[in-house]
């Protein structure tokens, strides 16, 4: 049906897709800079995250930190109690060998101090994440870094 592809043959559907990623625990800092070459930032899926939102979040953080470094400011990383911070912590501190990319999920978040299960636990994790992200955002804005 597509002109030029009349004789195409598919050996196996989906067999061509491959995600390329770096060994982030051994190559990246929490600010998404290459350990061996500060000032070189990595963003998106190549950092070892899976998913559109996760990749976008890593791009946003790399951009914020690239700007901060270009202005002689210290890089800033969201706390690990937030989704972005939990992903950063995973990709930089993972001990899984070989390193494998990850989507965000509540299992990456640091545990709560009290007892909670199921929906209530997820609600409390989300509430803490929103509060901590708001505080981080204010701190970044206060220092003039975006």
With CA atoms as reference, report the closest residue to 108 among 123, 94, 128. Answer: 94
Q: Hey, is 125 helix, strand or coil?
A: helix
**pLDDT per position in the chain (146 positions), as tens?**
788 888 888 776 666 667 899 999 999 999 999 999 999 999 999 999 999 999 999 999 999 999 999 999 999 999 999 999 999 999 999 998 899 999 999 999 999 988 889 999 999 999 999 999 999 999 999 988 77
Q: What is the pLDDT of residue 39?
A: 94
Q: What is the pLDDT of residue 17?
A: 64
> How far apart are alpha carbons 83 and 44 in whole angstroms?
15
> How far apart are alpha carbons 144 and 82 in whole angstroms?
21
Q: Identify the structural domains of the chain with CATH numbers, from first to last.
A: 24-142 (3.50.50.60)
Strand partners, 40: none
Q: How many CB atoms lie within 10 A of CB 95?
A: 6
pTM of the predicted structure, to 2 decimals: 0.84
Helix/strand/coil percentages in the chain, nearest 5: 45, 5, 50
Q: What is the pLDDT of residue 15?
A: 60
Do residues 55 and 45 make contact, with C-beta atoms less than 8 angstroms apart?
yes
> How far apart are alpha carbons 113 and 111 in whole angstroms?
7
Structure tokens at 133: 């992200």
């Amino acid at each position: 049906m597509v002109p030029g592809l009349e004789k195409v043959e598919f050996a196996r559907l989906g067999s061509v897709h491959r995600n390329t990623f770096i060994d982030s625990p051994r190559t990246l800092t929490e600010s998404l800079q290459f350990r061996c070459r500060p000032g070189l930032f990595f963003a998106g899926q190549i950092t070892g995250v899976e998913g559109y939102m996760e990749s976008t979040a890593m791009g946003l953080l790399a951009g914020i930190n690239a700007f901060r470094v270009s202005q002689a400011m210290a890089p800033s990383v969201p706390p690990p109690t937030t989704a972005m911070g939990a992903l950063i912590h995973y990709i930089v501190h993972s001990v899984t060998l070989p390193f494998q990319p990850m989507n965000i999920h509540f299992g990456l978040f640091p545990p709560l101090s009290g007892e909670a299960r199921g929906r209530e636990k997820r609600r409390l994790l989300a509430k803490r994440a929103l509060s901590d992200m708001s505080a981080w955002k204010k701190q970044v804005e206060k220092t003039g870094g975006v």
